[in-house]
Each structure stands twice: as structure tokens, then as C-alpha cells.
Chains A and B, each alone.
Chain A
């Protein structure tokens, strides 16, 4: 991304009227040669981890080596997350749109010579059709992309997020220009109401209704009013808000400016998790560039409207994403939920009317204003309009960022888009909403993924993490994992959460050792209900969801633990026994050598045996055996 290198393609000039944006956009597009080759290297988190920076360097070196014509000189562009994280590093070649996965530095020269200079594909690096094995050339041909509806993500992976002219060329700020040119603030609110947009931060509260209540609060209490972005994203498994802020910071900023215009706010805050330094840097650059262009600050687009925003780094706690804890944190106090029954639209930041929305919610606003609330409402299903971005993780082939219309059946996301569980078996369950969400079994695979259908099934949308589980994942273990996470994250203010999370986890710990009875399952359920009803904030209030839904849908698996002392998934250490299949064992002795307690014995070239009493159940032997002779009984 642009660092010390040259100025943006277009020298900044201040936009003095809403109409100037369109003029600028046309100029940017005209100045660009659509046939100029471009090498686009994904720099999303997945690809960064799999070595994208080295790949980008290798392309620069390869270009220098080939001594390509200076006039034709292709650019090497780095973008935010292109979505197919498990297949990174990803590289696309324009103008053809060739899509390459798992690109290594050594591939750079071949790609430059074949694709960039001769326009030909390098088929060995292309995504293969899962059925026929045929190479698929472009995003449009790959089911992972073609079955999605990428609206919020439309610019991510295409634009250089550090260059505002790239974003403007792709339509950024057009919604803002339109609203400032021809709509009153009241009309903006009405458009958001019409869209049916519901908050993407977890609870699904209708955004238009929230803005309307803020207007009533302003009527009573006057201004200032604040607009705030919730970018705390602490859910394990969730990275969509980070990807949006990193890959297209302007979409969030434009949404926030529109919200400020609608409500008459002059100051906004972006509360971003401190663990997201790239998101923070890109937002800072986006804000600085927007100010230069007259899109932020005084006299926005020459209309006299004035608004500015600043970034607050999150204090690094999951609970700081809760609205009242987030406000106390911005106010400079420890981020604990406030024990009060007042709505934050009335009494939010510094006791003032405040609209807090999630990153993805804000990023939807420019779409609503640009193309109209009615258009937006036609996407998705009646009570859950628009699209939703998910982080598809766990036991699926295509791990990554996925955006689909609300109401898309779960199986379409997991199997058709996600490529299903490796090995082609059906998935066991899907956990949505992370530690506050629920776990739905394969038998509910046709459940439409929207706010109300998930809630009806006992789960919840949550922020958008979607964890796919297969037969090797244990539901008791899942519950323990999330409860342990929340025990660390609880603020400790209220008693049900401070004491109850640990007590619930201890009961599950017992199950994982085969201790307990049906009565304990009943106790666990009623304790879980007490937490739901009694906790002060939604952290404790939603913490029981994974346990309650797994008891509902996987009761047999709980019973297997407590009654038969078996863990069917083979996960709970106390309930599994490692054994060696004498037919398969060659007596190579690798397992015996690696066992930390030396409990594997046997003569050379003869079948070995494991002493179950001494075995630690660490699984090292199973990992070392080259002949797949060790199994879990």
C-alpha cells in the first residue's frame, strides 16, 4: 500500500460542491488506462500470514528483471482481504481478472512473463472446479465468489485502501454527495427507516428506529449528539469488521458522515480494537485524505455542514464492545457496563444522545443512500433486509469472508460457498454468534440465516462468526471453550456472571471427565437460565447460549459423556483410549520414541501396544504414526 511512494494519482483538490465529486471521479477514471496491466496482491490478514508481502516483493523484482516497457509498466497493488483466506496468498491479474491462489515468490516471474506480458493464464495456480478439477480463471467462475452477493465488500480487494482516489473511482462518497445535494437530514433518516436495515453488531436492532429515537432525545435534551462506530470486534473467530476497516475504510467513514448529517452531529468517534493496528492506520489515512478533499471537517462539500471524527483505541477487552462499557471507555474510565435502565440513544457518551452502530452497519449506510432504501429493502428477506458478511471458519475448505443476502440457507453458505467439510462428509453443526450465539445441527441445514430464523432455532446472528464443526468436534468441549473465554472477559461486576460462568464451566469439566448425571444436565440448564435472566449485561446474559443450544440439539452427546463415559467425538481426554491396530502397525517404533511417558512398548518390527493406564492422551503417538495404525477407541 502507498507509503513513501508518490502522491495519489490525483493531486488533492477541495471539493466545493456536491457535484464536484462526480467531476473528480470522471477525471480519475479518464486518467487511467483500463488496459494497463495490474498485479493485485491481497494483503488481508490471512494472506499476510501466508506470506503475501514476500510475494509482492517478488513481483517487483520480476518486473525489474524482465525490463518491461516503461509505458506499459504494470502496477503492483496491495488490497484488503479478497475473501478466500485459506487459499492465500491470492493474486489477481488485470485486466483479464486471472485469479491465482497459494502464490509463492518463485511463481512471480512466470506470472509476469505469461499473464502480464502475454495475457495468458497460468492454470496450475488457479482454483479448480471441485467436481471436474478444471481450472477456473476468474472470480466470476469460482463458486465461492459467484454465489455471493458482495455489496458491503464490493470495493474490498479491489481498491488500495490507502488511496482515496481509488475509492472515489469505485463510487465512494457518492451517497454522501447525493444526500448533501438533494436530501434533508429528515429524508436521510426516512431512507434508513425504509431500508429495514438492522444493526449488524449482534442484537439486530432496527437502525432507522434507533436514529429516530435519537432525534426524539435531541428534541428533549438538545444537542450535542454523538455518532459512534463500534469497531471493538472481540468475538473469537470474527474478523469481518476488521476486514472492512482495513480494506475499505471510506465505506465506514462515509456512513458515519451521513449519520452525522442526519442527526446534526458535529463529532464522531471510531472505537477500534487496539489489536487492529492496520485498521487504525487505514482509518487515520482515510480521514486525513477525506479532510484534504473537503469530505470531512469544516464546510463539507461546500455545503456548510461541519463534522469531524476521531479514533479511540479499544482497551482490549471483549466487554468494551458492549455499548455502555464502550462509552465509559471512551470517557477515559475503566470499560465496565453501566448498571442503568436508560437507553444509550438518550444518555450515551457523556450523558448525551448518542447513536452507536456497528462497523458493518455504518458501511451499509452509503448503499442505502446511494441506491435508495426501497432498493435495499428488496434484498434479503422481509424482516432481515440486505446482506450479511460472515467469517466462515472451522472445518470448511474455503475459510474466509463471505457476504450473502439475509435469509440464505445455512447449507448454501457452508457447503456451496464454503466447499463443505474436507473429505466431503456432512458437517456436524454450525456455531453462529461466537460465545453468545448458538449451535445448530446438520438437520437444520436449511435454516434461513437471518435474525429471526436463527433466534427461533435458539441460536443468534451475533456479529457474524460462523464456525463449522465436524464429527471430530465435541459439543461439551465447545461449551467449555467459550465459557473459559468469557471467564477471562467478564468484568466481574455482577454476581451471576462473575460466579456463574465458572460454575457452569466446572459442571462441564465434570462431564468431560465422565462425571455427572442427567440431574446435572438439568441443573446446568436451570443455572444457565438464571444467568440469562439475572446478568447485568448481555455478556453474561448470552453466555449460556452455546450450552443451552447444544443441550437442546445434542442431548445424546451429553448423555454419552455422563452415562456411558464416552466422548463420541474423541476429544475429551479422560474419556478416550488410544490403541494400536496390530494389522496396520509395522513396528517402526516412531510412536514409542516420541511418547513423553514411554508407555508404548513392543519389539522392533512387531506390533506395539499402548499402556492405557500410563497414557497421557496427548495424541503425539497418533500424530507420529506414518501408517495410521493408532486410533481412538
Chain B
């Protein structure tokens, strides 16, 4: 059988083989917040906003629904105390990490988080380094005009070597996919001269 049955919030749902829990939830109209997920690119499981709780009797565990494969008979819960605790803290940290992003503020507010206990490092920052722009450029456009540089807590995105690059063809895919609005602002630091000319021609 190519159909899988399991439950989300005690409601029976059906998934096709190969679907993730998130895809199934979306298909059934159950909302799970996400930021780093986009159906067009490889999932990265990075933002962890899509965490859901798996339960089996006394056993419980949180998993990222955007990469967790739908499986027969599992019980998924999208709004437990543990899930909400993770989301709450991620939103609080996001509000401080990308305070200028309207999109993040709206999503956080939708989940009841309107303030943060953390001080913002840069009030103009919008990017939360989800890497979607880099993935769409590489996987969909087939170019590598955007790079994720540095490791760990210093991670950033931008043009390779942080210099505008003529590799960019100014297709705008990154601007479109960016969930925070940051790429609108970063765009000029990515596209080099050729690309700028191309956009002007197109206008």
C-alpha cells in the first residue's frame, strides 16, 4: 500500500509514502510554523520552529516535522507544552536576532510571542541565516552566487568572500524565497555589475 495512516492531534490523517509529517499536516490544513522550509529546495531542518511531539504511551520525543518521515501509526501533536516552549524561545531569540524583520514579528505574534527578553545585537538586522537563499540559488537556479560563511555562532550569508559577484543573474529567486525579507536588503551586496545592468535592462 502506498498510503500511510497516522494521527495529528488525535485526528486520523493519510499520507503518501515519502511525505514528511509537515507535508501531511499542510495537506490536511493543520498549521505548523516554519521558516527554513520551502518545497522547492532540500530541507535543512535548521530553524526548528516546526518541532512537533511524537507520543507513544509514556514515551515522548520532539522531532522536526519538515524532515520527519510520515510513518504508519505514529501519534503527532503540534501544540503540546514542550512544543510551545521550544517555539516560544525560538521566537524570542529570533525577535532579538532579526529585529527588523516584519515577517518574523508577524509569525511570532501569531503564536502569541510579541516581546523578547533578549537584547537585539543589531536593530537593522533582518536575516536569520536559514540558508534558503543559498539553497535556492544553488539547487534551483544552478548558480552559487550566495554562500553561507563562517561556522557556528558566527554564521552569515552573503556573496562568496562578501564581494558582489557577476555569477548572479539577478533572477530574484532568493529575494522571493527569503522568509524574513532580508534578501530584499542584502540583494545589492550579492549581485555584481553585470547583474545590475541586466535588471536595469529588464525594467
Chain A residues near B86 (CB, 8 Å)? 496, 530, 533-534
Interface segment, one of B39-47, B162-170, B187-195: B39-47
| Residues of B43-76 contacting chain A, CB below 8 A | 43-49, 51, 62-64, 67-69
Contact, CB under 8 Å: A339 / B118 = no
Q: Does A499 contact B (CB under 8 A)?
A: yes
Chain A residues near B150 (CB, 8 Å)? 492
Q: Does A292 contact B (CB under 8 A)?
A: no
Chain B residues near A491 (CB, 8 Å)? 151-152
Q: Which interface class (under 10, 10 to 19, 20 to 34, 35 or more) fits A? A: 20 to 34
Q: A341-B69, A490-B152, A534-B86 are in contact. Are A495 and B93 (CB under 8 A)?
A: yes
Contact, CB under 8 Å: A496 / B152 = no
Q: A492-B154, A498-B152, A534-B48 are in contact. Are A339 and B64 (CB under 8 A)?
A: yes
Q: Does B82 contact A (CB under 8 A)?
A: yes
Contact, CB under 8 Å: A499 / B97 = yes
Q: Does A487 contact B (CB under 8 A)?
A: yes
Chain A residues near B69 (CB, 8 Å)? 341
Chain B residues near A317 (CB, 8 Å)? 151
Chain A residues near B153 (CB, 8 Å)? 487-488, 490, 492, 498-499, 501-502
Min Cβ gap B134→A in Å is 12
Min Cβ gap A498→B in Å is 6
Contact, CB under 8 Å: A493 / B46 = yes
Chain A residues near B48 (CB, 8 Å)? 494-496, 534-536
Interface string of B101-143 (1 = CB under 8 A from A): 0000000000000000110000000001100000000000000
Q: A491-B151, A529-B85 are in contact. Are A536 and B90 (CB under 8 A)?
A: no
Min Cβ gap B128→A in Å is 7
Q: Does B88 contact A (CB under 8 A)?
A: yes
Chain B residues near A531 (CB, 8 Å)? 89
Contact, CB under 8 Å: A496 / B151 = no
| Residues of B1-53 contacting chain A, CB below 8 A | 43-49, 51
Given the complex of chains A and B, what is the CA–CA distance between A313 and B153 in angstroms? 25
Contact, CB under 8 Å: A534 / B90 = yes
Cross-chain contact of A533 among B47, B82, B93, B97 (Cβ < 8 A): B82
Q: Does A509 contact B (CB under 8 A)?
A: no
Contact, CB under 8 Å: B93 / A499 = yes
Given the complex of chains A and B, what is the CA–CA distance between A318 and B117 in angstroms? 30
Given the complex of chains A and B, what is the CA–CA distance between A489 and B154 in angstroms? 11
Contact, CB under 8 Å: B129 / A498 = yes
Contact, CB under 8 Å: A530 / B90 = yes
When A and B form their complex, what is the total count of cross-chain residue pairs whose Cβ atoms lie within 8 Å? Answer: 93
Q: Does A523 contact B (CB under 8 A)?
A: yes
Given the complex of chains A and B, what is the CA–CA distance between A379 and B49 in angstroms? 45
Given the complex of chains A and B, what is the CA–CA distance between A234 and B155 in angstroms? 22
Contact, CB under 8 Å: A495 / B94 = yes
Given the complex of chains A and B, what is the CA–CA distance between A526 and B87 in angstroms? 12
Contact, CB under 8 Å: B67 / A341 = yes
Q: Name the residue among A490, A492, A502, A530 with the largest chain B CB count within 10 angstroms.
A: A530
Q: A489-B152, A502-B153 are in contact. Are A496 and B64 (CB under 8 A)?
A: no
Chain B residues near A340 (CB, 8 Å)? 45, 67
Given the complex of chains A and B, what is the CA–CA distance between A339 and B47 in angstroms? 11
Q: Which residue of A lies closest to B155 (CB)?
A: A492
Contact, CB under 8 Å: B64 / A536 = yes
Contact, CB under 8 Å: A498 / B155 = yes
Contact, CB under 8 Å: A339 / B152 = no
Q: Which residue of B lies closest to A342 (CB)?
A: B69
Contact, CB under 8 Å: B46 / A339 = yes
Given the complex of chains A and B, what is the CA–CA distance between A489 and B67 in angstroms? 24
Min Cβ gap A271→B in Å is 19
Given the complex of chains A and B, what is the CA–CA distance between A493 and B51 in angstroms? 15
Contact, CB under 8 Å: A536 / B46 = yes
| Residues of A294-343 contacting chain B, CB below 8 A | 317, 339-341
Q: Does A150 contact B (CB under 8 A)?
A: no
| Residues of A476-509 contacting chain B, CB below 8 A | 487-496, 498-503, 506
Contact, CB under 8 Å: B44 / A530 = no
Given the complex of chains A and B, what is the CA–CA distance between A536 and B47 in angstroms? 9
Q: Does A571 contact B (CB under 8 A)?
A: no
Q: Which residue of B lies closest to A487 (CB)?
A: B153
Q: Does A68 contact B (CB under 8 A)?
A: no
Q: Does A615 contact B (CB under 8 A)?
A: no
Q: Does A569 contact B (CB under 8 A)?
A: no
Q: Name the residue among A340, A341, A526, A533 with the largest chain B CB count within 10 angstroms.
A: A533
Min Cβ gap A528→B in Å is 9
| Residues of A521-577 contacting chain B, CB below 8 A | 523, 526-527, 529-531, 533-536
Contact, CB under 8 Å: A341 / B63 = yes
Given the complex of chains A and B, what is the CA–CA distance between A502 and B152 in angstroms? 11
Given the complex of chains A and B, what is the CA–CA distance between A535 and B86 in angstroms? 10
Chain A residues near B155 (CB, 8 Å)? 492, 498
Q: Which residue of B lies closest to A528 (CB)?
A: B89
Chain A residues near B63 (CB, 8 Å)? 341
Q: Which residue of A lies closest to B53 (CB)?
A: A533
Contact, CB under 8 Å: B46 / A533 = no
Q: Which residue of A lies closest to B60 (CB)?
A: A533
Min Cβ gap B110→A in Å is 18
Given the complex of chains A and B, what is the CA–CA distance between A503 and B89 in angstroms? 10
Chain B residues near A536 (CB, 8 Å)? 45-46, 48, 64
Q: Name the residue among A491, A492, A523 with the largest chain B CB count within 10 angstroms.
A: A492
Chain A residues near B68 (CB, 8 Å)? 341
Q: A341-B67, A487-B152, A490-B153 are in contact. Are A495 and B85 (CB under 8 A)?
A: no
Min Cβ gap A493→B in Å is 6
Cross-chain contact of A530 among B45, B85, B118 (Cβ < 8 A): B85
Q: Name the residue among B47, B89, B97, B155 with the largest chain A CB count within 10 angstroms.
A: B89
Min Cβ gap A453→B in Å is 21
Chain A residues near B97 (CB, 8 Å)? 499
Chain B residues near A502 (CB, 8 Å)? 153
Given the complex of chains A and B, what is the CA–CA distance between A408 and B48 in angstroms? 40
Chain A residues near B88 (CB, 8 Å)? 530
Contact, CB under 8 Å: A533 / B152 = no
Chain B residues near A527 (CB, 8 Å)? 89
Min Cβ gap B135→A in Å is 12
Q: A533-B82, A534-B62 are in contact. Are A495 and B128 (CB under 8 A)?
A: yes
Given the complex of chains A and B, what is the CA–CA distance between A351 and B70 in angstroms? 21
Min Cβ gap A69→B in Å is 61
Q: Which residue of A lies closest to B66 (CB)?
A: A339
Min Cβ gap A93→B in Å is 50
Q: Which residue of A lies closest to B89 (CB)?
A: A530
Min Cβ gap A239→B in Å is 24
Chain A residues near B85 (CB, 8 Å)? 526, 529-530, 533
Min Cβ gap B157→A in Å is 11
Chain A residues near B94 (CB, 8 Å)? 495, 499
Min Cβ gap A105→B in Å is 45
Could you list 4 further interchain pairs (A-B, Cβ under 8 angstroms) beyond the known A498-B155, A533-B62?
Answer: A339-B67, A489-B152, A498-B129, A503-B93
- In the complex, 16 of the A-B residue pairs with CB atoms within 8 angstroms, ordered by the A residue number, are A339-B43, A339-B64, A487-B153, A492-B150, A493-B44, A493-B46, A495-B93, A495-B128, A499-B153, A500-B93, A501-B153, A523-B117, A529-B85, A530-B86, A534-B62, A534-B89
What are the 3 closest A-B residue pairs judged by CB atoms, nearest first? A339-B45, A492-B155, A530-B89
